[in-house]
Structure 1
Amino acid sequence: MPSLRSLVADTRPLSNEHFRRLWLANIVTVIGAQLTVVAVPAQIYDITGSSAYVGLTGLFGLVPLIIFGLWGGALADVFDRRTLLIITTSGLIGTSALFWVQAAAGNTDVWLLLGLFSVQQAFFAVNQPTRSAVLPKLLPPELLPAANSLNMTIFQAGAIGGPLVAGVLIPVLGYRWLYLIDSITLFATMSAVVRLPRLPVEGPTTTPGLRSVIEGFRYLAGHSVLLMSFVVDLIAMIFGMPRALFPEIAHLDFHGPDEGGLVFALLYAAIPAGAVIGGVFSGWVSRVERQGYAVVVCIVVWGAAMAGFGIAVGLADHWRTTMLWVALLMLVIGGAADMASAAFRTSMLQSAATDAVRGRLQGVFIVVVAGGPRIADVVHGASAAAVGTAAAAAGGGILVVVGVVVAALAVPSFIRYRVTRAPTIAR
């Protein structure tokens, strides 16, 4: 029987001083980042009183994320990655400071706010693929799943704690102090980044332009295992992410108030909470050699959990309180499965790709991770209008299970993909 020590998160990556500094800095900065994520739409609504303007944050955030995510990946395959991280972290600090300045000055121009948000997302889109491409230079392949699990646990914890803290602080301190806190906490990341060693790209490099981005896609098309890691994620997210249904489900199926309320908050928090729980008990991920097979299993669990969520919603009229807890449990299970799947897929990209293309593939990863749920919002919204929320959620979960199994059978090399695990080192 496995011991508790073997089940909890594998902390061996923290023995590397560079990873440890980056990870500890993340604990500080992720809350600050989430304060800005909440403050921007709140300030936009305060200025305009319009949810339509708030919705523009999706467009103003996604477009630079796609463009600069792909271009940033190309940059990360040319320039020293430490230098690139210093530049982009400086950009993030600068944009957060500008958010603080405009709030302190009493800005009422929503377009200025949206413009700053776009610039911030552009810096973020270059920073993230660069940061992911750095990990294989710091850690051996067998520790990458554990390192990615540790990073994702912190991110998801911030996704829960940040909005709660922001919701309490906005009425007390106002927007400008939230932006200032974000600016200050980012210096923790800067401190960790400047202490990294030089991180030049190994292998031939190209000019970071459209041609370089296209070469990255060609590399991806020629490596079926890496390509499938994106395909199965898109299947999981497009068909299985039901977040667009949460407002209607909270209001109509579980009789919450139409402006939000506790049920609404619980539905939104359940998937990140599951990811945090999955991260805390992620010690097993470092022992898995058949990572492709593990991804398929995790996505099947995600799909089954989302189907279970839809079924629970469908039964809410008969056993409302019981089905609410069942629905939340399904979302938590799905969040834990998604965390493990993401850890394995990220590790596969980091270890199976050559160093000369890691940045570009991580750029594609950022685009897929950001774009998949947004496409899911459209798909689920349209499906719910046609067949209802319960059927849309349950049917989407079933499609995930069927889709990922069919994809795995079509490309058996993905299921067979494995890494050779080094001898176990005491934690």
Structure 2
Amino acid sequence: MPRLRRDSFIDLRPFTASPAFARMWVGSTLAGLGGQLTIVAVMLHMYELTGSTFAVSMIAVAGLVPMVIAGLYGGMLADAFDRRRVALIAASVTWVSTFLLAVLAWGGLETVAWLYALSVVNSAANSIVSATRQAIVPRLLPRELLPAASALNGITMGIMVMGGPALAGVLVALTGYAWTYSIDVALMLANFLGLWSLPAIRPEGTMVRPGLESLRDGWRFLRRAANIRLQFILDIIAMTFGQPIALFPAIGAVLLGGGAITTGVLTAAIAAGAFVCSVFSGPFGRVRRQGIGIERAIIVYGVAIGLFGLALLAGALGAFAPETVDEGHPNVVIIVVAALALALAGAADNVSSIFRNTMVQAAVPDAIRGRLQGIFIVVVTGGPRLGALYAGTLATFTALWFPPLLGGMLIIALVAVLVRLSPRFRAYDAEHPVP
């Protein structure tokens, strides 16, 4: 039986090359784990208050415009001021919004309006933290270690989304919402430790103060940067048509049974795929044709989402179902099949993310990197919100299995056509990065 080569496993050199990066990674991982507790708890909380999948999907949609504005403005701040200070201020806003959620839950004062409002503030501030933190990474590490750093982010996402939703489902079921929010408040303190220990990091090159001219400067660069622009478009397609997370509460409550625990398992499956993929990400650092890598990874993602839709269709037709499907009697077989399809989707999305993030960090000059990272974060976090609107709205008028099945087919077709029309993207060389 062939043995795995040592260089098949994740490259840990970024930790030893930069202790500052290591501290920031630990802090963001713990804070992200807590953040996932709140994301899933708010979804479950909203479904309990309203009984509506559409209301759950609107949590993401309501925060879309504020998140876009915050991401773009946060990118401008990161290109004009000390990036460490920008990240610390934004992290403070995120912490306060989570603290207020916990206070309201403990007092029994939570309402639909409060859940929407605080979720919007949380997501907007967090988009600034993420954009600024990603703009910091290339200043802490040499270019050849950027793919390894992106793979380590996959480990972070795996821990966050694999542990967070599963833990959130159990905590909500056993202790309630107040304790779940409170644990996030405690875990988020680690974010400050990771950011506080960084040195001051001011952008290099000509700085443009935040404002309309700064935004126009970033837009002009993006218009010239065909490779960066196309990878943004491809990710929006994948996330818009292949992000069924808003359906998970209804799937657990109505279609497959298991309630909050099924919601946690399905969400965690995506992260489990990303985590395992990152563990074996060593070879990704040697891939030079990263545009082709992005194309193939997103097509596999579309296939996996389509398979998830087929699993839900089988569940809707009663395959392997117990006599009664409810919270205490789940359709275990279909839940397992659906989770495996989502794990494949998580792995494929992680491969795409590693190449896309590396491309932005390596090909974009430091003086404008904050603004491009702001756009990158808007795409990465805004796409799933469009996906929530697509899935929630379409499922309301059709069935829970239809949005992922249709979405998977759309992803495969659109990505294949767009990349074939862009030979420069397919020729992108990581040794000679051209935006």
**1:334, distance to aligned residue in structure 2 (A):** 1.7
Residue aligned with 1:199, SS? coil
Percent identity between the aligned chains?
A: 39
Counterpart position of 1:276: 275
SS in 2 for 1:197: coil
Instruction: Please list, as runs of the form range in 1=range in 2, the aligned pairs for 1:26-425 lying within 5 A after superposition.
Output: 26-42=28-44, 48=49, 51=52, 56-108=58-110, 110-170=112-172, 173-243=175-245, 256-257=256-257, 260=259, 265-314=264-313, 317=317, 320=320, 325-380=336-391, 392-420=403-431
The structural deviation recorded for 1:31 is 2.3
- Letter aligned with residue 132 of structure 1: Q
Deviation at 1:171, TM superposition (A): 5.8
Q: CA deviation at 1:58?
A: 2.5
Deviates more, 1:391-400 or 1:294-303: 391-400
Cα 1:298–1:2, aligned 2, differ >3 Å: closer, same or farther?
A: farther
14 and 341 in structure 1: CA distance in 2 versus 1, 3 angstrom threshold: same
Write the distance in 2 (CA, Å) between the matches of 1:172 and 1:385: 30
Q: Distance in 2 between matches of 1:264 and 1:32?
A: 17
Contact 1:256 1:262 in 2 (8 A): no
Tell me the equivalent position of 1:6. Answer: 7
Instruction: Name the SS for the 1:206 alignment partner.
Output: coil
Aligned residues: 417
Q: CA deviation at 1:328?
A: 3.4
8 Å Cα contact 1:291-1:417 kept in structure 2? yes
Instruction: Provide the rounded CA distance (Å) in 1 between the counterparts of 2:100 and 2:385.
Output: 28
SS in 1 for 2:384: helix
Please tell me the residue identity of whatever aligns with 1:14: F
Q: After superposition, what is the alpha-carbon deviation per residue over 1:62-88, rounded to whole angstroms, capped at 9, x for unaligned?
A: 232111011111111111101112222
Larger CA deviation: 72-81 vs 114-123 = 114-123
- CA apart distance, 1:157: 2.2
SS in structure 2 of the partner of residue 34 of structure 1: helix
Amino acid at match of 2:11: D
Unmatched runs of 5 consecutive residues or more in structure 2? 321-331
Checking the alignment, whether the CA contact within 8 Å between 1:201 and 1:356 is kept in structure 2 is yes
Q: Classify the secondary structure of the residue corresponding to 1:36.
A: helix
Measured at CA, do residues 188 and 396 of structure 1 come closer, stay the same or move farther in structure 2, by a change above 3 Å? closer
User: Against the structure 1 CA distance between its residues 172 and 319, is the aligned structure 2 distance closer, same or farther, given a 3 Å change threshold?
Assistant: closer
2:404 maps to a residue whose letter is A
Structure 1 residue 418: deviation in Å? 1.4
Measured against aligned partners, the alpha-carbon deviations of 1:315-342 in whole angstroms (never above 9, x if no partner) come to: 5659648766544333221210111101
Confirm or deny: 8 A CA contact 2:166 2:268 kept in the other structure. no
Alignment CA distance shift 1:49-1:409 (3 Å) = closer
Is the 1:64–1:125 Cα contact (8 Å) retained in structure 2? no
CA deviations over 1:273-317 (Å, ceiling 9, x no partner): 211221222122112111111111111211222333344555565
Gap runs ≥5 in structure 1 = 422-427
C-alpha separation between the residues in 1 aligned to 2:190 and 2:398? 48
C-alpha contact 2:79 2:369 (8 A) present in aligned 1:
yes
Inter-partner Cα distance in structure 2 for 1:44 and 1:247: 10
* Residue type at the aligned position of 1:345: R
CA RMSD of aligned residues (A): 3.1
The question of whether the paired residues in 2 share the 8 Å contact of 1:291 and 1:344 is answered with yes
Measure the CA separation in 1 of the matches of 2:99 and 2:387: 33
1:377–1:150: structure 2 CA closer, same or farther, 3 Å change rule? same
Please, what TM-score do these two structures have when normalized by structure 1?
0.86
| CA distance in structure 2 between the aligned counterparts of 1:397 and 1:312, rounded to whole angstroms | 13
When residues 174 and 385 of structure 1 are mapped into structure 2, their CA distance, relative to the original with a 3 A threshold, is closer
> Once structures 1 and 2 are overlaid, which stretch shifts more, 104-113 or 137-146?
104-113
User: Aligned-pair distance for 1:104?
Assistant: 4.0
* Cα offset, 1:17, TM superposition: 0.2
The 1:234–1:56 alpha-carbon spacing in structure 2 relative to 1, beyond 3 Å, is closer
Residues in 2 aligned to 1:117 and 1:313: alpha-carbon distance in whole angstroms: 29
Q: What's the TM-score, normalizing by structure 2?
A: 0.84
Residue 3 of structure 1: SS of its match in structure 2? coil
**CA 1:101–1:246 in structure 2 vs 1: closer, same or farther (change >3 Å)?**
closer
